[in-house]
Amino acid sequence: MRKPELLIPASSLEVLKTAVRFGADAVYIGGEAFSLRAKARNFSREDMAEGIAFAHANGVKVHVTANILAHNKDIDEAEKYFEELRELAPDALIISDPGMFTLAKKICPGIEIHISTQANNTNYMTFRFWHEMGAKRVVCARELSLAEIAEIRERVPEDLEIESFIHGAMCISYSGRCLLSNYFTGRDANQGACTHPCRWKYAVMEESRPGEYLPVYENERGTFLFNSKDLCMIEHIPEMIKAGIDSFKIEGRMKTALYVATVARTYRKAIDDYLESEEKYRENMEWYKAEIAKCTYRQFTTGFYFGKPSEEAQIYDSNTYINEYIYLGIIEETRERGERKGYLGKITQRNKFSVGDEIEIMRPDGRNTEAAVLAIHTEEGEEMESAPHPKQSLWIELSEEPEMYDLLRIKA
């Protein structure tokens, strides 16, 4: 039985380090160009170098996305970018465009090439084609069922790796190749500038009656014609492994450290529990489901894995994320409490909290510890009753002892 890789997204150096600490086998990141998340902060050359070094020091791989569908104007810059990546030496490049593939293969011969889901990889002949071209891994189109993936596994060379999504947002267009953004706003989703028009509200208007909106209802919050629920396969890890998938990919290169820590830790434990024993995996299912619900999500679906989804399985009821917990910060430093009643930890604060709040310390090893905020003060020692301003560097006194790299969250 294959032990699958857990592949986690990272939008920044902080999130990459969080993913590594909370259980990733590999992380995927985007540089400042040629990535399909132009609105994400993405990685500068310096941050990418530091992130790769940190991941490798902890036995974790780094995959870099270069999966735009390139135009003529992109080619010269792409050559320079691949030359930079050759020096930085990530473990893999994620590519969808054959031209970009050709450049990467020529310029970075020592780096694996993985074929993005954007390449619409839906059959075993396509997988064989990319293997013959020199690709190490192919990412499944989201439209594939587990039965189809299992057949692909049987019909492709053993050394060709198969990657497939296990959790996260689902694009309504074929493997993400959406034209709505370009049509409505002039911002090309295939160049990384998607404005997510699939998440907007829509109404129907008959051509001869301009301005008269026809009553099309899904619920009282509005009509969301193109929306999809989020993929969640936490209850189906055995089926994913049995299908022969080598890498389980979490979607979310624009997500927070809280989201990444939550999904990484939960799927890490679920995978490890199942590989130890299916009984242990089944016994801990309620814990996995409860933990997954602690990060932002829409309603959940199993996507196309068990056949074409029905309307009820795919369309969600509201355009609003469910957000049960709020991210406060990561413990960057601890200090002896001395004469204080509580334990001291330093964070860069992300959201508002106050003295007296009950928070949760989320530890990389799977433990959650409830703690009270006993005091807050600045680095200069000024006492504060609440911390309303993000990005402040604060020392907080807690009723329970925090450890380095613990993540703090509070119920919304």
On whether the CB atoms of residues 146 and 171 are closer than 8 A, the answer is no
> Angle CA(362)–CA(364)–CA(370) in degrees, nearest 5?
20
pLDDT tens digit at each of 412 positions of the chain: 679 999 999 999 999 999 999 999 999 999 877 765 555 457 899 999 999 999 999 999 999 999 888 999 999 999 999 999 999 999 999 999 999 999 999 999 999 999 999 899 999 999 999 999 999 999 999 889 999 999 999 999 999 999 999 998 876 665 565 666 665 676 766 556 677 666 666 667 767 778 777 655 555 444 445 556 789 999 999 999 999 999 999 998 778 899 999 999 999 999 999 999 999 999 999 999 999 988 766 678 888 899 876 655 555 455 455 678 999 999 999 998 877 889 999 999 999 999 999 999 999 999 999 999 999 999 988 999 998 888 899 999 999 999 999 999 999 8
Q: Residue 195: beta bridge partners?
A: none
Q: How far apart are the first and last CA of the chain?
A: 40
Of the candidates 199, 196, 173, which has an alpha carbon nearest to the alpha carbon of residue 185?
Answer: 196
Q: What is the DSSP letter of 70?
A: -
Task: List all residues 6 or more positions away from 80 whose beta carbon is below 8 Å from its beta carbon.
Answer: none
On whether the CB atoms of residues 387 and 354 are closer than 8 A, the answer is yes
Supply the pTM of this predicted model: 0.86
Q: What percent of the chain has pLDDT over 70?
A: 82
- pLDDT, residue 412, reads 84
Residues 111-159 have pLDDT tens digits of 999 999 989 999 999 999 999 999 999 999 988 999 999 999 999 999 9
φ, ψ at 408 (rounded to 5°): -105, 135
* Burial label, 199 (beta-carbon count in 10 A; 0-12, 13-18, 19+): middle
For the record, the structure tokens of 286 come out as 């309620």
Helix, strand, or coil (residue 255): coil
> Angle CA(348)–CA(354)–CA(358) in degrees, nearest 5?
100
